Amino acid sequence: MVTEIPIPGTDKSLGGSDVFVIAEIGKNFIQTEEDLPQAEYLQNAKDLIDAAVDVGCDAVKFQTHEIEDEQLNIDIASPHFTGKDRVSWITRNMEATPLSFWKEIKEYADNKGIIFFSTPMSRKSAMKLEKVGVPLWKVGSGDVQDNVNLDFLAGTKKPIIISTGMVSLKELDDVVGHIRSLGSPLSVLYCISQYPAPKEYFNLSTIEYLAEKYPDVVIGFSDHSIGDEASLAAVKVGAKVIEKHFSFSRDLWGADHKVSMTPLEMKEMVDKIRSGEYKDVDEKPYYGDKEKEMEGVGNKFRPYFNKSLMAGADIKAGTELSKEMIFAMRPKMYAEGLSSEKFEEILGKKVTKDLKKYDPITESVLA
């Protein structure tokens, strides 16, 4: 049976008797196409935290970027947000949120009595968040095979939450096994990486499948659908964690507002979970087949968000590769390096030629 996972420094846990509800603010403090002063982003973030507190959420989650070791300088836009190319979008987010931003947000959330944490999109962004003192980690669907980042996260011994939206059942099994081997408490959120996710894509029986397969893991649901029905059905079939994007309006400019819950909608969902009203929801339209392969195996976002291993500095021929010399970077579709889950396999190997920073690390350059 799964043991309850305490969240360090708080009185909350994952997998306890209460469903843990996360308001995924992400980058929703950015609400206009034109750039604004950092003070306005900070106030937007605080306003969203206030709203999450008011509606009864357990935690607010953001997303943290450091472009140096996340995104190669390639002109590409994700299909779910064509309003900005990835380099510009990540750069804007990074510049809007220096370390001082995250420290102030963490202190604000602490004072409001709600847990603050964030998704580090790379190892360097995780290092930044570690200085802030987040109590747990979230790893997005596109990064669950980024062993460079996972190695750092596991080293903190804090709980790790991962989403499944861009992996197959076999790949997920490898990821779970890897994180277990690193000794980190783990929660897995079933997820459909479509924005928004249509009802016919859901296969919530996967939640039961995962709970049976991984009894030591807390299973939950990261929901990109509109409304609360899928999330309530997920709780009915056993989800212990619910994550929903959170915004003041689905009409605001940005990547995730369009799949977000408003405060009023979030309050209604939280109330239904806390009161037990979720038990009245008909889960059958979402249930599906417990033996079905996950949608992530063919997800269209994988080539954009999966990562390859790249030189993180200029490296001389004959040098043995250490952790610090290696970056895991997207987009894998153009990066050309070995897949990021090969990280441990190349540590200690020598490079056979000089590599420049951001050159791909391939089998052909390893002794």
Q: What are phi and psi of 303, to 5 degrees?
A: -65, -25
SS3 assignment, position 61: strand
**Any idea where the domains of the chain sit in the sequence?**
5-298, 307-365
- Give yes or no on whether 5-298 and 307-365 have one common fold: no
DSSP, residue by residue, 116-152: EEEEESSHHHHHHHHHHT-SSEEE-GGGTT-HHHHHH
SS3 assignment, position 170: helix
Structure tokens at 115: 């847990």
Domain 5-298, CATH class in plain words:
alpha beta
Provide the pLDDT for residue 28.
97
Give the position of tokens 């939206």.
165
Provide the pLDDT for residue 303.
83
Helix, strand, coil percent content, the chain, rounded in steps of 5:
40, 20, 40
SS3 assignment, position 204: coil
Provide the pLDDT for residue 116.
98
Number of other residues whose CB lies within 10 A of the CB of residue 82: 9
In angstroms, how far is CA 152 from the centroid of its own chain? Answer: 15
Torsion from C-alpha of 175, 303, 241, 231, nearest 10 degrees: -140
Distance CA 86, CA 304 (A): 9
Provide the pLDDT for residue 304.
87
Provide the pLDDT for residue 194.
80
Whole-model pTM above 0.85? yes
Q: What is each CA distance from 109 to 103, 155, 197, in whole angstroms?
A: 10, 25, 29
Q: Which residues lie closer than 8 Å to 235 by C-beta, 6 or more apart? A: 19, 221, 242, 273, 278
Distance CA 99, CA 130 (A): 10
CATH number of the structural domain 307-365: 3.90.1210.10
pLDDT digit string (tens) for the chain, length 367 residues:
567 999 999 999 999 999 999 999 999 999 999 999 999 999 999 999 999 999 999 999 999 999 999 999 998 877 666 666 889 989 999 999 999 999 999 999 999 999 999 999 999 999 999 999 999 999 999 999 999 999 999 999 999 999 999 999 999 999 999 999 999 999 999 999 887 888 888 999 999 999 999 999 999 999 999 999 999 999 999 999 999 999 999 999 998 999 999 999 999 999 999 999 999 999 999 999 998 998 887 888 888 889 999 999 999 999 999 999 999 999 998 999 999 999 999 999 999 999 999 999 999 999 8
Provide the pLDDT for residue 295.
86
Buried residues in 251-277 as b, exposed as e (16+ CB within 10 A): ebebbbbbbbbbbebbbbbbebbeeee
Structure tokens at 20: 């843990």
Give the position of tokens 């940005």.
254
Counts for the chain of helices (H) and strands (E), in that order: 13, 12
Residue ranges with strand state E in the chain: 5-6, 13-14, 20-26, 59-64, 115-120, 137-139, 160-163, 186-191, 218-223, 241-245, 308-311, 326-329
